[in-house]
């Protein structure tokens, strides 16, 4: 019998004659591989899954006109298409454009937003709307507006537009959007505050006098009657805005112009999202400026960082436990085979050959445990993602190969101390004990 054949015969006997010990070593590797593969799969899938889930809570990137001329004319449709192409390069993206105007209801100033209802609805799935979204001749008002006017779904309001009130509304709403990080939560939040200021400025400039007295134009309640189709309640600045279709706002204002703000929800975060912003800002042909919505992006980053930290902590604990489990099992096997090792050394077997046999045996335990553990880990990760996110994940073959190699490596590393003790056994002492 050749040495190689003898080696495999000894190895086969060592593995299958001591099934209980071998099973313990396999189980130790299996538990480690299953846990690590499940955690790694979830850690890889969670950032993308969470990013997609967070996109339901609004935009993470906004675009406003960069120049004074652009602020007065808004962002035209061609520019919106170009910017959307830049944002959507390699990413899935949703967008919605907003045109803001200052209007009056019962002589009080309000802000109305002209929107593409389908786009805004898809972008802001978290909005709680009672009734319907805007339509032709129908508006949707924020909760604060509804409370101030004392209206409900089905009520009718007369909305008046004064050119002097809105002379600078588009430019101010866009510029205020980029003044501070706090104002970037939504496009409407900054626009609403600035529109009120613009209306006040409009009042001051149009307070012409008649016979030494202020004109009564400010009390003019003429306008266009709209039906309130719905009330939106978000708990944010959206509650102070009136929403109408872009066509109705253009008809109310008597002219068409571009959007003041374009919001984007793109499945990118961190450095990747910042790279998109820089790419837009460096493109002088678009004449727009972009920035991230910091509250949304920081929430994404913080949650994902916490999950990844938890993954590494748990993974470290699992690695240590797997090392201890496999090492203890191999130590027990070495103790059981102490007499056999002594006899083989007395017959001329060298320490290297004995060590290689134990290392290969440990590697086999790690390989079997890794295969079973990876399969179980994938099932657990799939169930976890389906339960938490309602989505399935595919098998990552690169991660699977890494799991197998790691299982074998851990099993071999864990066997080093007991194998070193085995190779140091003095055959004379062992045979004397026999």
- Above 70 in pLDDT, residue 131? yes
Beta carbons of 71 and 170 less than 8 angstroms apart: yes
- Above 90 in pLDDT, residue 284? no
pLDDT at 183: 38
For the segment 100-126, what is each residue's pLDDT rounded down to a tens digit? 999 999 889 999 999 999 999 988 888
- Above 90 in pLDDT, residue 151? yes
Cα-Cα end-to-end distance for the chain: 28
Which residues are 291's β-sheet partners?
A: 62
- Above 80 in pLDDT, residue 425? no
pLDDT at 339: 75
pLDDT at 134: 95
- Looking at the chain, the whole-number percentage of residues with pLDDT higher than 70 is 76
- Above 80 in pLDDT, residue 166? no
Q: What number of helices (H) and strands (E) belong to the chain?
A: 15, 12
pLDDT at 51: 65
Tell me the average pLDDT across 182-197.
43
- Above 60 in pLDDT, residue 174? no
Average pLDDT over all residues of the chain: 78
pLDDT at 68: 64
pLDDT-derived band at 298, boundaries 50, 70, 90? low
Q: Kindly report the length of the chain.
A: 434
Beta carbons of 87 and 96 less than 8 angstroms apart: no
| DSSP state string for 50-102 | HHHHHGGG--SEEEEE-SHHHHHH-B-HHHHHHHHHHHTTTS-EEEEEEEEEE
- Above 50 in pLDDT, residue 369? yes
- Above 60 in pLDDT, residue 48? yes
Show the CA angle centred on residue 351, arms to residues 349 and 356, nearest 5°.
100
pLDDT-derived band at 74, boundaries 50, 70, 90? confident
C-alpha distances in Å from residue 227, one per residue of 43, 189, 231 = 49, 24, 11
* Structure-block tokens of residue 231: 């009330």
For the segment 198-236, what is each residue's pLDDT rounded down to a tens digit? 443 334 434 433 333 333 455 566 789 999 999 999 888
**pTM of the entire structure?**
0.61
- Above 80 in pLDDT, residue 153? yes
Q: How do the residues of the chain divide into helix, strand and coil, expressed in percent and rounded to 5?
A: 60, 15, 20
């Amino acid at each position: 019998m050749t040495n190689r054949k003898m080696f495999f015969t000894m190895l086969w006997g060592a593995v299958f004659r001591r099934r209980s010990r071998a099973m313990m070593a396999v189980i130790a590797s299996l538990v480690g591989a299953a846990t690590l593969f499940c955690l790694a799969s979830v850690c890889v899938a969670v950032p993308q899954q969470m990013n997609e889930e967070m996109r339901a809570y609004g935009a993470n990137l906004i675009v406003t006109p960069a120049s004074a001329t652009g602020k007065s004319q808004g962002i035209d449709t061609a520019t919106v298409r170009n910017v959307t192409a830049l944002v959507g390069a390699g990413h899935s993206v949703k967008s919605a454009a907003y045109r803001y105007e200052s209007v009056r209801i019962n002589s009080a100033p309000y802000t109305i937003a002209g929107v593409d209802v389908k786009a805004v609805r898809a972008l802001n799935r978290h909005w709680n709307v009672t009734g319907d979204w805007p339509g032709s001749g129908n508006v949707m008002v924020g909760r604060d507006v509804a409370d101030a006017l004392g209206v409900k779904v089905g009520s009718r309001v007369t909305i008046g537009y004064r050119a002097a009130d809105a002379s600078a509304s588009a430019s101010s709403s866009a510029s205020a959007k980029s003044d501070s990080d706090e104002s970037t939560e939504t496009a409407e939040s900054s626009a609403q505050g600035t529109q009120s200021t613009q209306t006040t400025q409009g009042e001051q400039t149009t307070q012409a006098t008649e016979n030494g007295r202020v004109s009564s134009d400010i009390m003019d309640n003429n306008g266009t009657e709209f039906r309130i189709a719905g009330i939106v309640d978000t708990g944010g600045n959206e509650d102070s805005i009136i929403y109408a279709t872009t066509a109705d706002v253009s008809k109310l204002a008597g002219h068409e112009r571009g959007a003041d703000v374009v919001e984007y929800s793109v499945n990118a975060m961190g450095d990747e999202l910042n790279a998109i912003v820089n790419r837009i800002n460096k493109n002088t042909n678009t004449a727009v400026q972009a920035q991230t919505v910091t509250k949304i992006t920081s929430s994404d980053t913080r949650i994902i960082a916490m999950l990844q930290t938890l993954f590494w902590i748990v993974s470290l604990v699992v690695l240590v436990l797997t090392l201890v489990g496999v090492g203890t099992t191999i130590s027990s096997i070495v103790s059981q085979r102490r007499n056999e090792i002594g006899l083989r050394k007395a017959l001329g077997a060298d320490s290297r050959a004995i060590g290689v046999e134990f290392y290969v045996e440990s590697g086999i335990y790690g390989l079997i445990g890794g295969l079973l553990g990876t399969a179980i880990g994938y099932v657990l990760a799939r169930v976890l993602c389906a339960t938490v996110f309602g989505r399935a994940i595919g098998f990552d073959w690169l991660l699977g190969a890494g799991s197998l190699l790691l299982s074998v490596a851990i099993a071999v590393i864990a066997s080093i101390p007991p194998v070193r003790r085995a190779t140091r056994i003095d055959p004379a002492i062992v045979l004397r004990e026999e």
